[in-house]
Chain A
Amino acid sequence: MASITNDSLKAVFRAQCCLLLLVGAVVFGARAQDTTKKKKPEFSIGGDMGVSYEGYGLNLWPGRSTPPFYTPRKPWNMLRYNFSPTFTYGKWTIPFNFNFTALQNNFITPVTSGKQSLWQFITNPANNFGISPKIGTTQFLLGTQYIKYSDLSTGDLGAFGYGINLSPGKFRLKFFHGVSQRSIDYVAPTVVPPDPGVPGAYQRNHWMAQLGMEENEKYFVGFNFVKAQDDINSVTSLPQPPITPQDNMVVTFLTKVKTGNGWNLQMELGQSFHTRDLTTPASASPVLDFKPFITSHTSTDRDNAVMFALAKKKSDWEAGVKFNYYGAGYYTAGYPFMATDRLDYLANASFKLIKKKVNVIASAGQRLGNLSKSSGSGVNRQFIANVNLSAQVTDHFSLNGTFNNLGYNAADITGYRSVNNEFSINPVYTWTTTTMSNMFSGTYTRSQYDETTLVPAAVTNNNTQTALLQYVPTFFKGNLSPDLSLMWFKNMAPPVDLTLFNATASLGWKLASKLSLKSQLQYNTSTTAPFTADKNVLLSGGFDWELYKRLTWQLLLTGNLYRYGTGLPGNSLTPPYAGSPQYLESTIRTSLNYRFK
């Protein structure tokens, strides 16, 4: 109960902070308006708003089997609301980003075992409730924000909170404080009734700041500061290991330079302090305190990361190099899934030849892993090379070719090595008659993937071939736009021998100036030797309809009837089934959207 009261108080405090910032913004804005006397401010609205719904149905034949031979892959119902207008009034610009759903479908992040509280609802990573009013060089950030300062500091997580961006002259001052992970109580799993429980999560509070100087399209130089700390008291039932309360701080120095003659330079140096478990004993060893920002524990690490990119661009060629290093202990809560303990370098170039009719894009690089040797005595190596060549041979004929090479060597006792060579060629022929134009495209891709291990001595080949034929006629008169394609796919990975065949016909029909119908029919066979083919038919149809000025209704209905071959005989199910098992997946996806401008 104490915790609930605490949460409520915190929520009220945050709401008050937001309100204060908003009031401050209005007062500041009003003053700003005073300076532009006698001219009536213009008011306008841009952006859009709408609602979208996706319903999912699954029928199985037989209806019951243990375990089920096919499981649903979408939530039964998903209703999402979108309110993203941008209000402009005089010097004020106020973009809204409200995008939310009442349902909890969280997967990677835990879901609450019961009903969400208001605070959990607005901090659910599925939902956005953000406003970013801007006047002149000042922007307020309220609610859910996705703030990307740089690649080594913070960027791809949404956080609910408040902040400000100031850009007076060449100076850039930014600050944001918010919650990037809501608190979820741990619920133990149970066997009877079977329940996986809830792993739980601590509330993660995030602080971010940037201090720098910038001249648009010329340079930026500055520091980024990011602090993230889990609130141990945010839960009444503590999450169990390996979920731990953490503390993180990152400082990076970022510089970007762009010159008038095509040079582009970006460099970032970062250092992180990361306490993986705040319940471990406080200790100045192995990492010294960095108070007041970090009080070190025995689980605190300190490590560095570097990013460097240099490129030169001219009208008919471009070249560049990239270098990234992430120390084994580098961690930023802004990119929690970032892979570390690695070094990458990549060189890329693109240029045009023969009167700019031939375009070549190429890149080659290497990725080295396990630099810390904590996973073995050697370094893992991954090679990447890619060449793409596209040529406009004649007015009617173009050719596109791609070659990819990927290699990986693991420096462990198994001597694991994999090499993937993939070659793809794609001729396209177009011709025109008095009534229509035609496009015929063929694509053939061959991928040879070999895995080798020394201990135990083994070689595994996995080769795939894909052939795709496509015909797209475009009628100069009439409102039909068909699209036909045939696809063949062969995968040989002994003992697996898989063959897929797909035929697709699509038809778009502009029934009226504001109504377009669309439909698609797919027929697939999937044969895994020595069994007979699985077969399925997928039919979809719908429309885009402008109901009223800027008000659009979209609808797409899909049915997928899948029938198994002898690879899954009915008599292998429990209880046994007389025929071939099959299922029907049906989806309805519809949205009503209004554009303000």
Chain B
Amino acid sequence: MLLVALSIVALKGNAQVSINLALNTRPQPWLADWASPVNGIMILTYTPGAISDPAIKIRTTVADGAGNPIAVSNINSARVYMLKPGVNQFSMANALQMENLLFVGNYKASIRRSGRLPAGQYQLTIQVTNATGDVVRATQSKFFFVTSYQLPVLMSPANGARLDAHTAQSVIVFRWTPVTPAYAEPVVYRVQVFEVLSGQTPMQAFRANRPLLDEATRGLTQYAWHVNLPMIDSAANRQFIWTVQTTDMHGRILPANADANTQGHSEPAVFNIINQPGVVTNKKEDEDH
């Protein structure tokens, strides 16, 4: 009876912290992007007791699919938070504390080189400790799956290809590789073709001109363009640059390996129109971009 009474007193006397880790099961592949609300939030609920102790630290552990730790935060250099009574909301970046996370082995190299983990399943464990880090006050673990997508590679016409004007003025077939790994739903590929005008570089035309062709295909990795342009004349339509922009069905850019500022555009390719009988090739003229 004495023990029970002491326990009740102790429970009522000590402040309580509970944790709710609402982590997106498929967060953004770049760990540094976890501040975005799309990756989830962490809620710490603080209930003050007779003894007030709002100061806490967070210890983060990331484990691989087999449960082996691949990264642990340094509790000594972890930030001290002062909780307010009630609900305290944190971003997943606060939970992950990337700036304080020490990766091991190949994962360390992977994060340093690309900012991403290899595709696979991982487990995030958050421990809330006291300010000195030696007493764990709350713990929660969540599994998550990480993957990023490789944008399509343009296959045909290849970069530097030379197309015969007599055929190209009617039809040009564009082909590209699919986004990998396969997306959960059919992706949208927007194939875009820009004419390189006189005095322009191909990249200048790509960045500045309006596309002659801007067609979306759903899941298909090829498109036959009915060109209907005069190409035999030497004054116009001699050089083009094309690309594919990959989005989901709602027009959102996929979390791809490419830099986000490229807006899901694959590395563009240039092709030239030639009006020379007997020459139809699809090989690279040069290795220039």
Contacts and interface: CB of A to CB of B under 8 A. Distances in A.
Interface in B13-42: 29-33, 35-36
Contact of B266 (A339, A493, A542): A339
B230 A538 contact: yes
B130 interface: no
A369 B153 contact: yes
B233 A244 contact: no
Interface stretch (B1-9, B48-56, B82-90, B95-103): B95-103
B162 to A, nearest CB: 11
Nearest to B74: A285
Contacts of A286: 98, 103, 108, 111-112, 115
A414 B221 CA distance: 15
A173 interface: no
Contacts of A372: 110, 113-114, 116, 118, 257
B221 A491 contact: no
Given A285-B100, A406-B156, A414-B182, A489 B232 contact: no
Nearest to B110: A372
Interface in A173-205: 199
Contacts of A449: 175, 222
B105 interface: no
B117 interface: yes
Given A340-B257, A369-B150, A298 B98 contact: yes
Contacts of A124: 208
Contacts of A366: none
Given A375-B149, A375-B257, A418-B177, A361 B262 contact: no
B182 A276 contact: no
A301 B262 contact: no
B183 to A, nearest CB: 10
Contacts of A52: 198
B167 interface: yes
Interface in A337-376: 337-341, 361, 363, 367, 369-370, 372-376
Contact of A241 (B36, B102, B208, B226): B36
B141 interface: no
A374 B116 contact: yes
B232 A483 contact: yes
A585 B229 CA distance: 10
Interface in A57-82: 73-75, 80, 82
Contacts of B177: 380, 382, 408, 410, 418
Contacts of A285: 98-102
Interface string A469-506: 01010000000000101010101010000101010101
Interface in A271-328: 276-277, 280-283, 285-287, 297-303, 309, 322, 327-328
B249 interface: no
Given A151-B289, A363-B283, A556-B236, A99 B200 contact: yes
B160 interface: no
A3 to B, nearest CB: 21
B210 A107 contact: yes
A208 to B, nearest CB: 16
A24 B277 CA distance: 53
B279 interface: yes
Interface in A104-125: 105-109, 124-125
A105 B195 CA distance: 13
A264 interface: no
Contacts, number: 325
Nearest to B279: A400
Majority SS at the chain A contact face: strand
A52 B156 CA distance: 31
B150 A380 contact: yes
Contacts of B224: 491, 498
Contacts of A445: 280
B267 interface: yes
A132 B235 CA distance: 28
Contacts of A388: 281, 283
Contacts of A426: 278-280
A439 B281 CA distance: 19
Contacts of A99: 199-200
A470 B210 CA distance: 33
Contacts of B98: 280-281, 283, 285-286, 298
Contacts of A302: 112-113
Given A106-B207, A376-B180, A283 B226 contact: no
B289 A338 contact: yes
B118 A373 contact: yes
B209 A524 contact: no
Nearest to A544: B235
A413 interface: yes
A371 B214 CA distance: 31
Chain B CB within 10 A, most for which of A126, A282, A377, A498? A126
A324 B40 CA distance: 39
B204 A441 contact: no
26 contacts: A73-B214, A106-B207, A126-B207, A158-B204, A241-B36, A242-B253, A299-B32, A327-B113, A329-B113, A329-B114, A339-B267, A340-B258, A370-B180, A372-B116, A372-B118, A374-B118, A375-B257, A400-B279, A428-B277, A441-B277, A483-B232, A491-B173, A500-B226, A522-B230, A558-B229, A560-B228
Interface of A: 52, 73-75, 80, 82, 84, 99, 105-109, 124-126, 128, 146, 151, 155-158, 199, 241-244, 246, 276-277, 280-283, 285-287, 297-303, 309, 322, 327-329, 331, 335-341, 361, 363, 367, 369-370, 372-377, 380, 382, 386, 388, 398, 400, 402, 404, 406, 408, 410-414, 416, 418, 420, 422, 424, 426, 428, 439, 441, 443, 445, 447, 449, 451, 462, 464, 466, 468, 470, 472, 483, 485, 487, 489, 491, 493, 498, 500, 502, 504, 506, 518, 520, 522, 524, 526, 536, 538, 540, 542, 544, 554, 556, 558, 560, 562, 585, 589, 591
Given A242-B260, A339-B151, A406-B155, 9 more contacts: A108-B206, A108-B265, A156-B202, A158-B201, A286-B98, A286-B108, A298-B93, A327-B113, A372-B110
Interface of B: 29-33, 35-36, 93, 98-103, 108, 110-120, 147-151, 153, 155-156, 164, 166-167, 169-171, 173, 175, 177-178, 180-182, 192, 194, 197-204, 206-214, 221-222, 224, 226, 228-230, 232-233, 235-236, 243, 253, 257-263, 265-268, 277-283, 287, 289
A-B pairs, top 3 by smallest CB distance, nearest first, are: A412-B181, A283-B99, A126-B208
